[in-house]
Amino acid sequence: MRFFNILIFLLGIARISLAQELRIRPVFGPDTLDWGKDKYTSAKAETMSFSSLELYLSDFTWTDSSGKEVKEPGRVELLEAGSEKQNLSIAHPLGSLKRVCFRFGLDSATQVSGRMDGDLDPALGMYWAWNTGYIQCRLEGNSVSSKGKKGKFEFHLGGYSSPWATDQKVCLDLTNPSINGKQDVFFDIKAMFDQVSLKKTHSVLIPGEQARQLSHFLGSGFKSQLQ
Amino acid sequence: MVSILLGLMLILLGFRFSGPRTIPRQFFYPKSWPKPVYDFKKNPLNEEGFELGRSLFYDPILSGDSSISCASCHLSFTGFTHVDHAVSHGIEGRIGRRNTLALVNLAWNTSFHWDGGVLNLDQQAINPISHPDEMGSNLNASLKKLSKSARYRNLFFKAFGDSVPNTTNLLKGLAQFTVSLVASNSRYDLFMAGDTAAHFTDQEKNGLSIFRKNCTSCHPEPLFTNYSFANTGLNLDSLNPDSGRFEITRKPEDIFKFRVPSLRNVAVTFPYMHDGRFRKLREVINHYATKNCQITNSKDPVQQDELIFDDHQKKDILAFLHTLTDTKFIRENKFQHPIK
């Protein structure tokens, strides 16, 4: 019995030290995002600061440098960043990655599956109660350009039925090495603010053409290298 | 070898008895009805889950200031709806936007709410709990309050084998109760089943035939709704504008369409329509019978002139609609406040 306990304990340690993670680092152009503090300037010459970001990634396919591929369809990860929380790492089953593919958001089957466990728990605040489904990506902050209350802007982007589906397939060829089991990719939200003027749009809270368009601007912000 | 087998059996038995033993609950409905849409495999009914849901339904613990329960708006005696105000009232007297829907035969719903925005009964209850105009709480706050109650920890354990309330089990418990609200014993049902005690007067029979001619394209028997969306030509209320189905689909053809409500128990579920603008059933029938009422439904356009009824016909329809009240359902002990 004793022996088994020790064995399980050792296996546990081995698992922890072997855990490999992909880190999604939110950036604004070349700059790391500093929540609630720094001011960033978009190509539209609007300055802004950010308070929080939440996004769903799902349906992962991992490929390591030897070409080995592991698929995790149906896997759902809610990533969160802000001044109070930082949860941007995704554990994966391979060593050093060469390529990763995932869905930015959740597909319609997951949206309506009725699963309410883990990262899909509606208590996490990403569930749109009045309109069955989850917000795919939520980004909030402030800007003097925004006409919202006290310069607030809020983008709760979601919707999964055509023609306004917001989920997108993203594939990245990784170029950063794995350091201590961690490998970085970047999520550049400037991609959206270069296209959208906060003067004109400071709040999108429902599915529709705007949500679809903004989601696609954001989706183009995933990249494996900082600019 | 034998000891290994014995050990394995013991382990298996251990697993079997480690969870709670629940008493399965039968879901009854008339043989002639269509199959329910609700997926009972995802939430198998048992007596313990039903009792948990019933307890939650009647308990103000779910609301932010512990002042109102589901039953505050969904009263059993009025067919599980709210009758004294046009639009529902929530905590701190805030006025909601829409008329409370009667809870009936929810296992057949293909969508929920007047705009069909909610697709699954299990998730519907997130709305009242987290809507500031309704119960003014949020799931986390409600779960926290429940986990502090020894009675609820016990009820959750008995139903789901986990004494810590979580979102899934809270919502499944509520759904076990609400999905059980089946009304199928009105005088109309008995009459249709050939029960000699369920006599229909000539007026009621005439009402039924007018109804079958004019209303069943949207309110078909036996559920008295086809769960589609239609515009019955109500004037827009400028103080409370509501574009209905359009808010969900954003399709121009869906502006001002609302889900066709079931007409079961309709005599007791006043006021009527999505904004509760009509207090009397008579007013609804008058609305259908006005010349300028444009009924539009992309699938089933209705000929307006067919709906021009004379006073006798109106009375006949009214008499027929009264036969849809299921008093057994309304008084059913099992659906009332559990006696603590």
% residues pLDDT > 90 (chain B):
64
Q: Give residue-wise pLDDT tens across range B179-235.
A: 999 999 999 999 999 988 888 999 999 999 999 998 999 999 999 999 999 998 888
- Asked if B44 and B177 sit in the same domain, the reply is yes
- Note the pLDDT of residue A18: 60
Q: Measured between CA atoms, how close is B306 to chain A, in angstroms? A: 36
The H or E element that residue A142 is part of is: strand A135-142
Would you call B127 an interface residue with chain A, using a CB distance cutoff of 8 Å? yes
- Asked if B240 and B109 sit in the same domain, the reply is no
For residue A175, the enclosing domain spans 2-223
Q: Give residue-wise pLDDT tens across range B144-180.
A: 999 999 999 999 999 999 999 999 999 999 999 999 9
- Count how many domains chain B has: 2
- Using a 10 angstrom Cβ sphere, with 0-12 exposed, 13-18 middle and 19 or more buried, the burial of residue A134 is buried
| Residue B327 DSSP code | H
- Note the pLDDT of residue A1: 45
Q: Cα–Cα distance between B286 and B16 in angstroms, integer?
A: 61
| Residue A21 DSSP code | E
The answer to whether the Cβ–Cβ distance between A114 and B117 falls below 8 Å is no
- Note the pLDDT of residue B196: 84
- Asked if B35 and B176 sit in the same domain, the reply is yes
The answer to whether the Cβ–Cβ distance between A208 and B127 falls below 8 Å is no
Q: Residue B22 domain-assigned?
A: no
Query: Average of pLDDT values for B103-129?
Result: 94
All residues at 6 or more sequence positions from B243 whose CB lies less than 8 Å from its CB, including other chains: B255, B256
Locate the chain A residue with the closest alpha carbon to B251.
Answer: A208
Q: Give residue-wise pLDDT tens across range A137-151.
A: 999 999 999 999 999
Task: Tell me which residue in B42, B139, B140 faces A114 most closely, judged by beta carbons.
Answer: B42
- Asked if B84 and B160 sit in the same domain, the reply is yes
The answer to whether the Cβ–Cβ distance between A123 and B171 falls below 8 Å is no
**Are residues B228 and B295 in contact, defined by beta-carbon separation less than 8 angstroms?**
no
**Are residues A146 and A198 in contact, defined by beta-carbon separation less than 8 angstroms?**
yes
- Note the pLDDT of residue B250: 87
| Chain A residues inside the 8 Å CB shell of B42 | 114
Match 């008499």 to its residue by tokens.
B319
When scoring B162, B245, B248 by the number of chain A Cβ atoms within 10 A, the one with the most, hence best to mutate, is B248
CA torsion through residues A202, A207, A210, A214, sign: positive
- Asked if B110 and B42 sit in the same domain, the reply is yes
- Count how many domains chain A has: 1
Query: Average of pLDDT values for B22-47?
Result: 96
Q: Cα–Cα distance between B254 and A82 in angstroms, integer?
A: 39
Three-class DSSP category at B186: coil
Most confident of B66-70, B139-143, B224-228: B224-228
Structure tokens at A199: 């003067």
Which has the higher per-residue pLDDT, B257 or B241?
B257
- Note the pLDDT of residue B95: 55
Would you call A208 an interface residue with chain B, using a CB distance cutoff of 8 Å? yes
Query: Average of pLDDT values for B77-104?
Result: 76
The answer to whether the Cβ–Cβ distance between A130 and B140 falls below 8 Å is no
Q: Cα–Cα distance between B65 and B272 in angstroms, integer?
A: 29
**Are residues B168 and B139 in contact, defined by beta-carbon separation less than 8 angstroms?**
no
Locate the chain A residue with the closest alpha carbon to B124.
Answer: A129
- Asked if B142 and B239 sit in the same domain, the reply is no
Q: How many residues in total does chain A contain?
A: 227
Structure tokens at B204: 């009621």
For residue B152, the enclosing domain spans 31-183+329-335
Q: Which residues of chain A have pLDDT under 50?
A: 1, 10-16
Mean pLDDT of chain B, nearest integer: 87
Q: Measured between CA atoms, how close is A148 to chain B, in angstroms? A: 21
- Note the pLDDT of residue B5: 52
The H or E element that residue A101 is part of is: strand A97-104
Work out whether strand A97-104 and strand A47-64 pair parallel, antiparallel, or are unpaired: antiparallel
- Note the pLDDT of residue B15: 47
**Alpha-carbon B322 to chain mean position:** 19
**Are residues A128 and A206 in contact, defined by beta-carbon separation less than 8 angstroms?**
no
Stretch among A171-185, B79-93, B103-117 having the lowest mean pLDDT: B79-93
- Note the pLDDT of residue A19: 79
- Asked if B174 and B194 sit in the same domain, the reply is no
Would you call A108 an interface residue with chain B, using a CB distance cutoff of 8 Å? no
Q: Measured between CA atoms, how close is A121 to chain B, in angstroms? A: 7
Locate the chain B residue with the closest alpha carbon to A116.
Answer: B168
CATH of the domain at B139: 1.10.760.10
Q: Measured between CA atoms, how close is B289 to chain A, in angstroms? A: 33
Q: Is the pLDDT of residue B323 over 90?
A: yes
Task: Tell me which residue in B42, B126, B166 faces A129 most closely, judged by beta carbons.
Answer: B126
Q: Residue B20 domain-assigned?
A: no
The answer to whether the Cβ–Cβ distance between A131 and B248 falls below 8 Å is yes
Would you call B120 an interface residue with chain A, using a CB distance cutoff of 8 Å? yes
Q: Give residue-wise pLDDT tens across range A69-88.
A: 999 999 999 999 998 888 99
- Asked if B35 and B151 sit in the same domain, the reply is yes
- Asked if B316 and B217 sit in the same domain, the reply is yes
Locate the chain A residue with the closest alpha carbon to B131.
Answer: A129
Of residues A227, A141, A131, A152, the one with CA closest to residue A187: A227
| Residue B133 DSSP code | T
- Asked if B199 and B136 sit in the same domain, the reply is no
pTM of the model: 0.86
Q: Which bin fits A105, alpha (ψ -120 to 50), beta or left (φ > 0)?
A: left
Q: Residue B294 domain-assigned?
A: yes
- Note the pLDDT of residue A15: 47
| Chain A residues inside the 8 Å CB shell of B113 | 130
- Asked if B216 and B307 sit in the same domain, the reply is yes
Q: Cα–Cα distance between B100 and B172 in angstroms, integer?
A: 21
**Are residues B61 and B146 in contact, defined by beta-carbon separation less than 8 angstroms?**
yes
- Note the pLDDT of residue A14: 47
- Asked if B199 and B143 sit in the same domain, the reply is no
